[in-house]
């Protein structure tokens, strides 16, 4: 008997879940059901910064998801598919008043405290500043890339 699995939603969560389920259960029949596709989803216009916060999730599970996500996106960002998938690396400075080192800090590339000489400029209104490199995922490219690469050619089908 063929296992039939339905995934509701064709944003980044639905498409990624369907691909992950299909990879794990190759004999299953996976169908994505959604009333909005690619450019009509929130994921299409998302800022796309990879900062794996997982509020309300047990720490060990959040860490595993963060590590898996970091491996996946950093690998894509440094591969020949970076441009077509819309996944690249971006460096920046985050200013905040939260915890000194948030849990997602473990997954960032080259995370450092803001340099001493920049503190007078940037820490007037914030307690902490961190510089790091992470992935940025352009939804308007990543969703079609995922669909073309993994959904269309394989057994996952998409219906509205």
Residues of this chain that interact with ligand FAD (CB under 6 A) are 8-14, 33-36, 41-43, 46-49
Q: Which is nearer to ligand FAD, 12 or 120 (CB)?
A: 12
Distances in Å between the Cα of 57 and the Cα atoms of 12, 17, 64, 102 are 19, 17, 11, 15
> Residue 79 CB, nearest distance to ligand FAD (Å)?
21
> Residue 116 CB, nearest distance to ligand FAD (Å)?
28
Q: Which is nearer to ligand FAD, 14 or 86 (CB)?
A: 14
Q: Which is nearer to ligand FAD, 34 or 77 (CB)?
A: 34
**Beta strands 109-113 and 87-96: pairing type?**
unpaired
Q: Which is nearer to ligand FAD, 115 or 148 (CB)?
A: 148
Rounded CA separation 116/134 (Å): 22
Residue nearest to ligand FAD (CB): 11
> Residue 48 CB, nearest distance to ligand FAD (Å)?
5
3-state secondary structure of 108: coil
> Residue 86 CB, nearest distance to ligand FAD (Å)?
13
Look-up: residue for tokens 């509020």?
55
Environment class of 86 (CB within 10 Å of its CB; exposed 0-12, middle 13-18, buried 19+): buried
């Amino acid at each position: 008997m063929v296992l039939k699995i339905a995934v509701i939603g064709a944003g980044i969560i639905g498409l990624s879940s369907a691909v992950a389920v299909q990879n794990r259960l190759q004999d299953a029949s996976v169908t994505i059901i959604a009333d909005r596709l690619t450019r009509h989803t929130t994921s299409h216009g998302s800022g796309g910064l990879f900062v794996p916060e997982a509020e309300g999730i047990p720490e060990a599970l959040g860490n595993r998801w963060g590590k898996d996500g970091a491996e996946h996106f950093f690998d894509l960002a440094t591969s020949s598919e970076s441009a077509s998938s819309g996944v690249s690396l971006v460096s920046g400075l985050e200013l905040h008043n939260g915890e000194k080192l948030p849990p997602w800090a473990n997954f960032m590339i080259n995370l450092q405290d803001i340099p001493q000489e920049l503190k007078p400029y940037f820490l007037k209104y914030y307690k902490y500043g961190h510089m790091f490199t992470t992935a940025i995922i352009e939804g308007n490219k990543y969703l079609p890339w995922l669909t073309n690469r993994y959904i269309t050619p394989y057994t996952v089908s998409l219906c509205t």
